[in-house]
């Protein structure tokens, strides 16, 4: 069973010597210095994590959970859609299944807290959905620990099977409300600045959603990251954070998806500050408020394609760039191969 605390304690910062060696190597490659722009930045970061960059066998780890706060009417959809989408993931019909196939990634679907049955999904269910964060804690501290450990376990399994990069993904009706609450609590941002349309909520329903987020944030007085996660989080956020911490402890790059994954990344960083060293931000979600979370982590995403789906899709779309960065530094010729002095 995963142990996120142990993994957190073992996270090493990126290796600065490997990064400066990679900068030198990049300058010896047969191209003008710096001309591969952000691909070079990526290669340097990967070298700091891994030594020789290798992001083969990417693994998409989708965590699904339900949210009691949906009873406030914060989503365009009902909770039943979460289990239906899990069925879709299991059958291979969701967007992430298609994108994962395109990039040669495996997909595992874990039920961490879906209300109801999810045949075919990996079951690590902590409970049947969280409490309504507007009026009560989402989960107990023990439940948060359990979800963190389950996520760590899932990442460990994928990495032991050969994954050199992980893409944590989410599914959970209501989870944009929960993500906004977590981001508000951790950034101090105003609720209107970090809440958006989610599945398509607008007008008076959006204002109601913002009121719900305000009620949730005002209800709590705790400051410890685990307490905040348990009060306001989703089980999928906790599991994704656990997966990120585990991957960081194993020097494995984490390609961060959109708004929900960034709220989970913020949780991972609050619980284990060095985990951030292993984040690569895949894309900027169209969900309002993603920018604020990214700013907080100093993240500059690779893509901005106006995606707002979750599931790991934006990160999957960005994966080819990360893979190219790793290939360039492994496969390009150096000037001395041409008999030229760099
Ligand atoms: O991650 C994102 O950028 C993102 C932005 C908007 C919506 N989503 C997805 O939409 C669902 C949550 O939307 P909502 O309106 O029910 O809170 C959930 O399953 C997320 O995966 C995800
Ligand atoms: C159909 C649908 C698919 C999703 N995938 C992630 N969140 C989602 C929300 C809905 C509504």
The whole-number pLDDT of residue 61 equals: 99
Q: What distance in angstroms lies between residue 260's CA and the mean position of ligand 1's atoms?
A: 7
Asked if residue 69 has its Cβ within 6 Å of ligand 1, the reply is no
Mutate to test the pocket of ligand 2, among 308, 310, 313, 314 (most ligand atoms within 8 A of CB): 310
The predicted model gives 14-43 an average pLDDT of: 98
The whole-number pLDDT of residue 150 equals: 98
Q: What is the rounded CA–CA span in Å between residue 209 and residue 201?
A: 8
Residue 110 φ then ψ, to 5°: -115, 125
pTM summary value: 0.98
The whole-number pLDDT of residue 341 equals: 81
**ipTM for the whole complex:** 0.99
Strand partners, 59: 106, 166
172 CA closest ligand 1 atom index: 19
96 CA closest ligand 2 atom index: 5
Q: What distance in angstroms lies between residue 265's CA and the mean position of ligand 2's atoms?
A: 20
Contact of 209 with 195, CB cutoff 8 Å: yes
Q: Which CATH architecture has domain 4-52+328-338?
A: Orthogonal Bundle (1.10)
The whole-number pLDDT of residue 2 equals: 87
- Active-site entry in 41, 136, 311, 331: 311
Q: Which CATH class is domain 59-321?
A: alpha beta
88 CA closest ligand 2 atom index: 3
The predicted model gives 93-109 an average pLDDT of: 98
Asked if residue 229 has its Cβ within 6 Å of ligand 1, the reply is no
- Rg over CA atoms, the chain: 20
As given in the structure block, the two tokens for residue 152 are 């760590």
Contact of 296 with 259, CB cutoff 8 Å: no
Residue 224: active-site member? no
Q: What distance in angstroms lies between residue 76's CA and the mean position of ligand 2's atoms?
A: 10
The predicted model gives 67-82 an average pLDDT of: 98
**CA distances, 168 to each of 18, 75, 154, 213, 258 (Å):** 26, 22, 10, 24, 10
Mutate to test the pocket of ligand 1, among 99, 114, 175 (most ligand atoms within 8 A of CB): 175
List, for residues 254-282, the tens digit of each pLDDT value: 999 999 999 999 999 999 999 999 999 99
List, for residues 133-182, the tens digit of each pLDDT value: 999 999 999 999 999 999 999 999 999 999 999 999 999 999 999 999 99
pLDDT > 80? residue 123: yes
Asked if residue 205 has its Cβ within 6 Å of ligand 1, the reply is no
Mutate to test the pocket of ligand 2, among 197, 200, 309, 315 (most ligand atoms within 8 A of CB): 309
Asked if residue 261 has its Cβ within 6 Å of ligand 2, the reply is no
Which pLDDT band holds residue 51 (cuts at 50, 70, 90)?
very high
307 CA closest ligand 1 atom index: 3
4-52+328-338 and 59-321 share one fold: no
First to last CA, the chain: 50
Let me know the angle formed at the C-alpha of 334 by 331 and 337, rounded to the nearest 5 degrees: 110
Label each residue of the chain as H, E or C.
CCCHHHHHHCCCCCCHHHHHHHHHHHHHECCCCCCCHHHHHHHHHHHHHHCCCCCCCCEEEEEEECCHHHHHCCCCCCCHHHHHHHHHHHHCCCHHHHHHHHHCCEEEEEEEECCCCCCCCEECCCCCCCCCCCCCCCCCHHHHHHHHHHHHHHHHHHHHCCCCCEEEEEECCCHHHHHHHHHHHHHCCCHHHCCCCCCCCCHHHHHHHHHHHHHHHHHCCCCCHHHHHHHHCCHHHHHHHHHHHHHHHCCCCEEECCHHHHHHHHHHHHHCHHHHHHEEECECCCCCCHHHHHHHHCCCCCECCCCCCCCCHHHHHHHHHHHHHHHHHHHCCEHHHHCCCC
pLDDT > 90? residue 1: no
| Domain residue ranges in the chain | 4-52+328-338, 59-321
pLDDT > 90? residue 71: yes
């Amino acid at each position: 069973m995963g142990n996120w605390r142990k993994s957190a304690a073992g996270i090493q910062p990126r290796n600065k010597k490997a990064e400066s060696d990679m900068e030198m190597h990049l300058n010896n490659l047969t191209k003008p210095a710096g001309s591969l722009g952000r691909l070079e930045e990526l290669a340097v970061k990967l070298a700091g994590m891994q030594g020789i960059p290798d992001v083969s066998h990417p693994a998409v780890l989708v965590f699904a959970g339900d949210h009691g706060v949906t009873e406030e009417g914060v989503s365009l959809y009902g909770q039943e859609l979460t289990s239906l989408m899990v069925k879709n993931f299991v059958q291979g019909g969701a967007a992430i299944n298609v994108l994962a196939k395109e990039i040669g990634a495996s997909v595992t679907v874990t039920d961490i807290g879906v209300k109801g049955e999810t045949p075919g999904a990996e079951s690590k269910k902590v409970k049947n959905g969280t409490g309504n964060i507007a009026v009560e804690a989402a989960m107990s501290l023990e439940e948060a620990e359990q979800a963190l450990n389950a996520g760590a376990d899932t990442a460990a399994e994928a990495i032991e099977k050969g994954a050199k990069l992980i893409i944590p993904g989410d599914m959970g009706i209501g989870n944009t409300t929960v993500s906004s609450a977590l981001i508000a609590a951790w950034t101090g941002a105003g609720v209107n600045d970090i809440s958006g349309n989610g599945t398509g909520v607008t007008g008076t329903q959006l204002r109601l959603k913002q009121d719900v987020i305000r009620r949730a944030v005002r209800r709590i007085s705790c400051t410890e990251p685990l307490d905040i996660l348990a009060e306001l989080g989703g089980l999928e956020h906790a599991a994704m954070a656990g997966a990120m911490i585990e991957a960081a402890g194993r020097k494995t790059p984490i390609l961060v998806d959109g708004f929900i994954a960034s709220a989970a990344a913020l949780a991972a960083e609050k619980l284990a500050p060095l985990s951030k060293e292993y984040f690569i931000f895949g894309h900027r979600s169209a969900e309002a408020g993603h920018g604020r979370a990214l700013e907080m982590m100093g993240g500059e995403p690779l893509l901005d394609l106006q995606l707002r789906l979750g599931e790991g899709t934006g990160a999957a779309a960005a994966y080819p760039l990360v893979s190219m960065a790793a290939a360039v530094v492994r496969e390009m010729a150096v000037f001395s191969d041409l008999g030229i002095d760099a």
